[in-house]
Amino acid sequence: MLDITTIMIYILILIYGILVGSFLNVCVYRIPKKENIAIIRSHCMTCNHQLKWYDNIPLLSWLMLRGKCRYCKAPISPQYPIIEASNGLLWLLVAIIRGLSVDTLLYALLFSALLTLSVIDFRTYEIPAGINIFILALGLVMTVYHYTDWVDHVIGFFVVSIPLYIIIIVTNGRGIGGGDMKLMATAGLLIGWKLVVLAFALGCIIGAPVHVIRMKMSGADRVLAMGPYLSIGIFISVLWGEQLISWYLNMAGI
């Protein structure tokens, strides 16, 4: 039922998601440079002018300044408002679809971590270890919280990561990155074995054609940055995985 309280809660979740999204922007720029993410002092990337609080309101400031620095008029990357809005929408989506629960809180934090690592992986071809450790911590909390299903979660840790580990050894690390393997382990612990198998399958289905097109267009020969595709697989799996799995089993007549 959509009563006024529920709507208020959803609006709050959206706002919190946007605020956290603004912190994710800080992470996206500072983690690859190994800078401290705890110091919040923002300045224009072009003129270095220290930003006032009203220049720094997530989403709104960028819209009101029409994507330009107030002081030097240099364009501000649309990546800031896009990450803020995306995180807000992901939080709202998981709250609406999975309901308000401890699981939803953990999934929301997972989504923020995935959003951050996707952008970093896309730019640097590396998944930061710190983000995988964060997801591991979320996975441990989830496993303890659902201790009667702990086996599902522990199998989830290994079910995709071990085959990937074998591929890494066989191909001498050219087949897939170590960060991707660790992501499948930590996310698997968090979401359980069924959803992580589905997430990996979806990631490959989405990633393979996109990568072929991108390689054709840019002539890029780099190893595929799998992080963004695996993350999309995990998003879909967490939000609609149970329905997808039962639909698939019905189709297969199992």
Using the contact rule CB under 5 A, the part of the chain among 72-80, 99-107, 116-124, 155-163 near Zn ion is 72-80
Task: For Zn ion, give the closer residue by CB, 16 or 42.
Answer: 42
44 binding Zn ion? (CB under 5 A): yes
From CA 103, how far away is CA 242, in angstroms rounded? 15
> In the stretch 74-103, what mask flags binding to Zn ion with x, by CB under 5 A?
x-----------------------------
Q: Which of 47, 100, 204, 220 binds Zn ion (CB under 5 A)?
A: 47
Q: How far is the CB of 71 from Zn ion (least distance, A)?
A: 5
Q: Determine, following the binding rule CB under 5 A, whether residue 71 of this chain makes contact with Zn ion.
A: yes
Provide CB contacts within 8 A for 237, sequence distance 6+. 191, 195, 196, 198, 199, 202, 244
- Regarding 50 and contact with Zn ion (CB under 5 A), the answer is no
Question: Closest CB to Zn ion among 5 and 48?
Answer: 48
Judged by CB under 5 A, does residue 125 bind Zn ion?
no
Cα separation of 188 and 158, whole Å? 7
Residue 65 in contact with Zn ion, rule: CB under 5 A: no
Helix (H, G, I), strand (E, B) or coil at 50: strand
Q: Which is nearer to Zn ion, 51 or 244 (CB)?
A: 51
- Give yes or no for a contact between 86 and 59, defined as CB atoms under 8 angstroms apart: no
75: Cβ contacts below 8 Å, ≥ 6 apart:
67, 68, 69
Q: Quick one: which of 12, 35, 43, 46 contacts Zn ion (CB under 5 A)? A: 46
- Taking contact as CB under 5 A, which single stretch among the options 39-47, 145-153, 157-165, 176-184 is the one that binds Zn ion? 39-47
Q: Which helix (H) or strand (E) element contains residue 59?
A: none
In whole angstroms, give the CA distance from residue 65 to residue 205: 39
Integer Cα distance of 133 and 187 in angstroms:
10
Of 197, 194, 189, nearest to 164 (Cα)?
197
Which is nearer to Zn ion, 75 or 173 (by Cβ)?
A: 75
Q: Where are the beta strands (DSSP E) in the chain?
A: none
d(CA 84, CA 94): 16
Residue (61 or 118) nearer to Zn ion, CB = 61
Kindly tell me which of 6 and 46 has the beta carbon lying closer to Zn ion.
46
Residues touching Zn ion, count (CB under 5 A) = 7
Positions in the binding site for Zn ion (CB under 5 A): 44, 46-47, 69, 71-72, 74
